[in-house]
A and B are shown apart, each in its own frame.
Chain A
Amino acid sequence: MKSATIQHVQVIRFTLQRLLHTPVASLLNILVIGIALSLPVGGYVLLKNVQGLAEQTAGTPQISVFLAAGTSQEEITRISKELKEHAAIDHIEFVPRDLALKQLQLSTGLADVVGGLTQNPLPDAFVIYPVALDAPKLELLRDDLRSWPRFEHVQLDSAWAHKLQAILRFGRLAVLILAAMLSFALVAITFNTIRLQILTQRDEIEVAKLIGATNGFIRRPFLYFGLVQGLLGGATAWLIIACSLLLLNYNLAELAQLYASNFSLHHLTPGDSLALLGFSAYLGWLGAWLSVSQHLWQIEPK
């Protein structure tokens, strides 16, 4: 007869009824939560897109490896094979010293100087294209390569990566601070909504306690309310960002055409979207829980 699921279903239905009971207030609350959340989440989305764009336009970072003089052809073949099998390496390019010299002649206009050389001073080289693009992993790979025999000089041009990382780090920090502040706002909004609900349902709570309601039973509708309100707020934030991106992309399309690029802004991944909904639902629940803990015990039947 006492089925826990029946009770929970009842409470959820009750919660939705409560939301619909005051449609304007509920809608405003959900909108406020949605807008508050959409700021940090929107920042996060932009950050992700900037990161993608930067990686796309700045080109892939490379590591140049110069071989020691006198490395034999067999050794080069073996090294080349080992590099190709390395997990952190996407693909490689071998630059024989003759080709390097020719390129130098062509590209720098030092044809005279180079032509005057009796002997090619350049070493054989590999250009390595790594899988990972972030600075710490690149540096790790560079250090690894440095320990290989016959590699005389390993050079990673990571300045751009460092700069990008620094900018992104700054952006992430800004988004995080914003998210923390607005999460607090969400909790506060829910706290207050629930406080008002508890006040208006004083009689009901008192009577329920008198006829044997457990604290859990009295708490549950408020907690569910906070959870559902937070969840709907999160969904609203998602929609706000979706609409903004739609608008931005529409305008971006023209711009991108001018630059012959097909760049467009992407929304949250499904995983991130779920995280957003889960987090907003949790914050709503937390606000309700704090409010209930704070206010419910004050109502004791007389």
Chain B
Amino acid sequence: MIKFNQVYKRYPGGHEALRNLSFEIAEGEMVFLTGHSGAGKSTLLKLIAAIERPTSGSVVVKGQNIKSLKGGALPYLRRNLGLIFQDHKLLFDRNAFDNVMLPLQICGFDHRESAKRVRAALDKVGLLNREKANPIALSGGEQQRLCIARAIVNRPTILLADEPTGNLDTEYSGEIMNIFRSFHQVGVTLLVSTHDETILRQFPGRALALKHGELQP
């Protein structure tokens, strides 16, 4: 599903964020990505979503090499991905419902079908009663869950989450991890980054540990 082969990422300015990464994630796997702040977790996830391109090496997602991906094919690759961002990237000019609606509008679903799906997604993350609320009025945990709802509404095959429990207390982060586990159970491939080691103890699974941009054995 996701395959890295000798991937290097150097940012303009010369900083080498990732060094010689090679790993593979199979379909339906749930993998954690750990490492200190600045280890390169976000960079790795951005490479998968083709937000950044590798400096060298190859990143292959669903059989497509990110490096040689044509501009026209990029949107269709991203529609297979559910992205949960560290900074949420919610839109504050519309309510929660419309935020979750956006991916479906982009794919051109008809309105009634979309509305059903949006409610199902909001229900899944426990925000059905907040659909009219502006995201700015939501708590940090609620915003995070809204971001998850938007990522899953399109039923992606791969879910990428960048520190989804980053600044939440343990009760909330447990809730969110449970949501992820339920997606794992229906066969979605998940890659979840975290710097919170306690989560790893709670949810056993494969972990990729990054340190200064290199994969720890």
- Give chain A's interface residues, CB within 8 Å of chain B: 1-4, 6-7, 10, 203-204, 206-215, 217, 301-302
The closest CB in chain A to the CB of B114 belongs to A1
B108–A206 touching, CB < 8 Å? no
The closest CB in chain B to the CB of A214 belongs to B75
- 20 A-B pairs with CB atoms under 8 Å apart are A6-B108, A6-B110, A7-B108, A10-B105, A10-B111, A203-B92, A204-B91, A204-B93, A206-B89, A207-B89, A207-B102, A208-B102, A210-B49, A210-B51, A211-B79, A212-B76, A212-B106, A212-B154, A214-B72, A217-B75
Would A212 and B103 be within 8 Å (CB), given that A204-B93, A207-B89, A301-B51 are in contact?
yes
Set of chain A residues within 8 Å of B106, measured between Cβ atoms = 208, 211-214, 217
Interface of A is mostly: helix
**A4 and B109 alpha carbons, distance in the complex (Å):** 10
Contact with A210, one of B71, B78, B111, B154 (Cβ below 8 angstroms): B78
Produce 1/0 per residue, B76-106, CB < 8 A to A.
1111010101000101110000000011011
Set of chain B residues within 8 Å of A206, measured between Cβ atoms = 89
Q: How far is the CB of A245 from chain B (nearest CB, A)?
A: 44
**A3 and B92 alpha carbons, distance in the complex (Å):** 28
B109–A2 touching, CB < 8 Å? yes
Q: Count of chain B residues with Cβ under 8 Å from any Cβ of A?
A: 28
B107 within 8 A of A: yes
- Give chain B's interface residues, CB within 8 Å of chain A: 49, 51, 71-72, 75-79, 81, 83, 85, 89, 91-93, 102-103, 105-111, 113, 150, 154
Set of chain B residues within 8 Å of A210, measured between Cβ atoms = 49, 51, 78, 83, 85, 89
Set of chain B residues within 8 Å of A7, measured between Cβ atoms = 108
The closest CB in chain B to the CB of A2 belongs to B108
Set of chain A residues within 8 Å of B154, measured between Cβ atoms = 211-212
Contact with B78, one of A203, A204, A211 (Cβ below 8 angstroms): A211
**A206 and B51 alpha carbons, distance in the complex (Å):** 11
Q: How far is the CB of A125 from chain B (nearest CB, A)?
A: 76
**A204 and B76 alpha carbons, distance in the complex (Å):** 18
Q: Name which of B89, B103, B106, B150 has the most chain A CB atoms within 10 A of its CB.
A: B106
